[in-house]
Chain A
Amino acid sequence: MSKLNSKIPDGPLADKWTNHKASLKLVNPANKGKLDIIVIGTGLGGSSSASTLGELGYNVKVFSYQDSPRRAHSVAAQGGINAAKNYKNDNDSIYRLFYDMLKGGDFRAREANVYRAAEVSNLVIDHYTALGVPFARDYGGTIDNRSFGGVQVSRTFYAKGQTGQQCLVGAYSALTRQIAKGTVTMYPRREMLDLVIVDGKARGIITRNLVTGEIERHSAHAVVLATGGYGTIYYMSTLALNSNASATWKAHKKGAFFANPSFVQIHPTSIPVLNSYQSKLTLMSESLRNDGRVWVPKKQKDTRKPNDIPEDERDYYLERRYPAFGNLVPRDVASRAAKERCDAGFGVGSTGLSVYLDFRDAIKKKGKKVIEENYGNLFDMYEKISGESPLETPMRIYPAGHYTMGGLWVDYNLMTTIPGLFAVGESNFSDHGANRLGASSLMQCSGDGYFILPYTITDYLASDIKTPKIKTDSPEFEVAEKEVSERVKKLLSINGKETPTSYHRRLGKIMWDYCGMVRNEEGLKKALVLIKELEDEFWKNLKVAGKAEELNQELEKAGRVMDFFELAKLLCTDALNRKESCGAHFREESQTETGEAKRDDNNFSYVAAWEYKGQGQEPDLHKEELKFEYVKLQERSYK
Chain B
Amino acid sequence: MNIKLKIWRQPNAKSKGRFETYPLNDVSSEMSFLEMLDYLNNSLIKEGKEPVAFEHDCREGICGSCGMYISGRPHGPQHKTTTCELRMREFKDGQTITVEPWRAAAFPIIKDLIVDRNAFDKIMQSGGFISINTGAAQDANSILVPKKNADEAFDSASCIGCGACVAACKNSSAMLFISAKVTHLAQFPQGRTEAEIRVKNMVAKMEELGFGGCTNTRACEAECPKGISISNIAKLNREFFVAKLKD
Contact = CB atoms under 8 A, between A and B. Distances in A.
A55 B131 CA distance: 11
Interface stretch (B16-24, B95-103, B138-146, B239-247): B138-146
A275 interface: yes
B185 interface: yes
Interface residues of B, number: 78
A425 B8 CA distance: 39
A532 B144 CA distance: 58
A275 B134 contact: no
Interface in A295-316: none
A572 interface: no
B46 to A, nearest CB: 8
A73 B53 contact: no
Interface string B207-232: 00000000000000000000000000
Contacts of B190: 129-130, 132
B93 interface: no
A176 B132 contact: no
Interface string B128-159: 11111111111111011111001101100110
A140 B143 CA distance: 11
Contacts of B87: 384-385
Contacts of B153: 132, 134
B130 A132 contact: yes
Contacts of B143: 129-130
Nearest to B187: A134
A141 interface: yes
A451 interface: yes
Contacts of B129: 131, 173-174, 176-177
Contacts of A136: 150, 154
A180 B126 contact: yes
Nearest to A283: B60
A143 B151 CA distance: 12
Interface in B24-59: 28, 30-32, 34-35, 38-39, 42, 44-46, 48-51, 53, 55-59
A278 B140 contact: no
A169 B147 CA distance: 20
A275 B30 contact: yes
Contacts of B58: 71, 73, 75-76, 240-241
A252 B4 CA distance: 46
Given A68-B120, A211-B110, A554 B59 contact: no
Contacts of B158: 162, 165
B2 interface: no
A71 B121 CA distance: 11
Contacts of A454: 134
Contact of B59 (A66, A127, A279): A279
B111 interface: yes
Nearest to A551: B111
B154 A166 contact: yes
Interface string A270-281: 000011011110
A268 to B, nearest CB: 18
Contacts of B76: none
B140 A85 contact: yes
A127 B60 contact: no
26 contacts: A66-B57, A68-B117, A73-B63, A87-B141, A129-B143, A130-B130, A130-B136, A131-B130, A134-B150, A134-B187, A135-B140, A137-B146, A137-B150, A141-B146, A141-B147, A160-B154, A166-B157, A241-B58, A275-B28, A277-B28, A279-B32, A282-B60, A384-B87, A387-B89, A450-B135, A550-B12
Interface of A: 51-52, 55, 66-71, 73, 75-76, 85, 87, 123, 125-132, 134-143, 159-160, 162, 164-166, 169, 172-174, 176-177, 179-180, 186, 188, 211, 240-242, 274-275, 277-280, 282-283, 381, 384-385, 387, 450-451, 454, 497, 499, 501, 543, 545-546, 550-551, 553-554
